């Protein structure tokens, strides 16, 4: 990807309204600092840039530049904010990046490289245009990009989820056939100033069974291949699992074990997990898998808050702490089958989950 050359930058004075997004590679510095060769580092970053860029381009997006371990991109077609299909494609693009992450991570694993985890933020607004290098390349600036970037790097940005700003959300609300196909969960407000706050939202796919026949037909015509993949991954959507652990590698491993049979959502921050759980209306066939030692809110505290929401919610603790024998005295009512010791055995883990979700 081209960088700015010594010829500098020229602001054109022009601006457009469009969707802009950031994809940040989580913990890349921590991951690469342990790599023993420059070749591994190059391969790691190249894989990130190339795999995500290709998806963005396939949905008519344009990657403007990479900023270290972060890609800046935008969607030129969204200048027409009344084109419903264009805005639907942006959401599809975000989920496609997350879906393909598992394939990419399998390839990385074969080369003994750490897995990818992304922070994805998308918003809509005014973008100022500039020409860079030999004045043949476009760059973007302005308040919309600054705000989207800051949300991406803030605690509001949840790894491996799609977070959108209020401006983008307001446009999506004007398209009922788009807005009704997803759950939009209030993700908190970004504090621009003490008196100026900006709402953000987490986009979640709805159960495919909730879509009516007309919507399914529209989805097929829009992307037959993607819907087929979505249905395949939703074979047992009625049974849901929420993973809460502050180690991304563990979340990835557990999700990999379970995602073929369950609808799995993961959180590295227990506070975000708790806010998500509070927005759930039906706790039937739901299992929450918790770590104990976590920042902000430990597993015991989170369990207490969960039970206050609904005491029937099923919970499985997975911990490295050597307190299994004392666990029942710490949390009365927890049976032995609701406690597992890290590292987990894959088959034992899957079988325990099956028993709890019978």
Name the 3-class secondary structure at 267: strand
Ranges of each domain in the chain:
9-227, 235-356
Contacts of 291 (CB under 8 A, 6+ apart): 244, 245, 246, 247, 250, 299, 317, 318, 319
pLDDT above 60: residue 163: yes
> What CA–CA distance (Å, rounded) separates 206 from 43?
35
Higher local confidence (pLDDT), 7 or 40:
40
* pLDDT for the residue numbered 323: 62
Name the 3-class secondary structure at 246: coil
CATH homologous superfamily of 235-356 equals Response regulator (3.40.50.2300)
- As given in the structure block, the two tokens for residue 103 are 């394939």
Query: What is the model's pTM?
Result: 0.58
* pLDDT for the residue numbered 300: 86
Contacts of 72 (CB under 8 A, 6+ apart): 20, 21, 22, 63, 64, 65, 66, 140, 145, 149
Q: Using pLDDT thresholds of 50, 70 and 90, give the confidence band for residue 30.
A: confident
pLDDT above 70: residue 97: yes
C-alpha distance from residue 48 to each of 45, 68, 117 (Å): 5, 11, 10
- Best CA proximity match to 276, nearest among 124, 156, 152: 156
Peptide bond before residue 343 is cis, with ω within 30 degrees of 0:
yes
Query: DSSP label at 76?
Result: G
Q: Are both 9-227 and 235-356 of the same fold?
A: no
> What CA–CA distance (Å, rounded) separates 351 from 354?
5
* pLDDT for the residue numbered 317: 92
> What CA–CA distance (Å, rounded) separates 79 from 87?
10
* pLDDT for the residue numbered 137: 65
| Phi, psi (rounded to 5 degrees) for 11 | -75, 130
Residue 127 buriedness (CB in 10 A; 0-12 / 13-18 / 19+)? buried
Element (H, E) at 25: strand 9-25
User: Could you count the other beta carbons within 10 Å of the beta carbon of residue 290?
Assistant: 23
Give residue-wise pLDDT tens across range 59-75.
999 998 887 789 999 99
Give residue-wise pLDDT tens across range 256-271.
899 889 999 999 888 8
| Domain 9-227, second-level architecture | 2-Layer Sandwich (3.30)
- With b for 16 or more beta-carbon neighbours within 10 A and e for fewer, the 15-41 pattern comes to eeebbbbbbbbbebeebbeebeeeeeb
Query: DSSP label at 295?
Result: S
pLDDT above 90: residue 227: no
Mean pLDDT score, 90-109:
88
Give residue-wise pLDDT tens across range 230-244.
333 344 446 999 999
Give residue-wise pLDDT tens across range 173-193.
999 888 888 889 998 999 988
| Phi, psi (rounded to 5 degrees) for 277 | -60, -35
Q: Using pLDDT thresholds of 50, 70 and 90, give the confidence band for residue 166.
A: very high
Sheet holding 263-267, edge to edge: 263-267, 240-244, 286-290, 314-319, 339-341
26: left (phi over 0), alpha (psi -120 to 50) or beta: beta
C-alpha distance from residue 335 to each of 206, 287, 305, 318, 325 (Å): 32, 15, 19, 13, 11
pLDDT above 80: residue 326: no
**Mean pLDDT, the chain, integer:** 81
Give residue-wise pLDDT tens across range 274-307.
888 988 888 889 999 999 888 878 888 898 889 8
**Of all residues in the chain, what percent carry a pLDDT higher than 90?**
35
Mean pLDDT score, 336-358:
90
Query: DSSP label at 262?
Result: S
| Contact (CB, 8 A) for 272 and 156 | no
């Amino acid at each position: 990807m081209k960088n700015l050359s010594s010829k500098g930058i020229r602001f054109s004075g022009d601006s457009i309204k469009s969707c802009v997004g950031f994809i940040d590679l989580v913990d890349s510095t921590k991951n690469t600092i342990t790599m023993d060769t420059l070749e591994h580092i190059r391969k790691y970053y190249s894989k990130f840039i190339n795999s995500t860029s290709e998806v963005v381009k396939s949905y008519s997006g344009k990657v403007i530049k990479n900023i270290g371990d972060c890609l800046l991109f935008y969607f030129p077609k969204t200048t027409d904010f009344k084109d419903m299909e264009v805005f639907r494609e942006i959401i599809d693009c975000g989920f496609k990046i997350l879906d393909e992450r598992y394939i990419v991570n399998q390839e990385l694993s074969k080369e003994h490289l750490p897995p990818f985890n992304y922070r994805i933020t998308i918003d809509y607004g005014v973008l100022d245009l500039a020409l860079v290098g030999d004045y043949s390349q476009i760059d973007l600036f302005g308040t919309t990009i600054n705000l989207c970037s800051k949300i991406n790097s803030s605690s509001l940005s949840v790894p491996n989820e799609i977070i959108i700003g209020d401006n983008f959300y307001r446009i999506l609300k004007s398209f009922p056939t788009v807005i009704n196909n997803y759950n939009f969960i209030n993700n908190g407000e970004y504090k621009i100033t003490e008196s100026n706050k900006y709402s953000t939202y987490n986009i979640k796919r709805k159960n495919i069974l909730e879509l009516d026949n007309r919507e399914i037909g529209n989805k097929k015509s829009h992307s037959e291949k993607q819907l087929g993949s979505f249905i395949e991954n939703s074979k047992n959507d009625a049974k849901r699992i929420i993973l809460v652990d502050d180690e991304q590698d563990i979340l990835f491993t557990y999700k990999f074990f379970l995602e073929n049979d369950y609808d799995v959502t993961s959180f590295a921050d227990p506070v975000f997990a708790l806010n998500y759980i509070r927005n759930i209306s039906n706790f039937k066939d739901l299992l929450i898998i918790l770590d104990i030692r976590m920042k902000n809110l430990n597993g015991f505290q989170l369990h207490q808050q969960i039970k206050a929401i609904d005491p029937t919610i099923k919970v499985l603790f997975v911990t490295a702490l050597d307190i299994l024998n004392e666990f029942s005295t710490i949390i009365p009512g927890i049976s032995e089958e609701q406690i597992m010791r890290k590292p987990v055995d894959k088959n034992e883990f899957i079988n325990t989950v099956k028993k709890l979700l019978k």
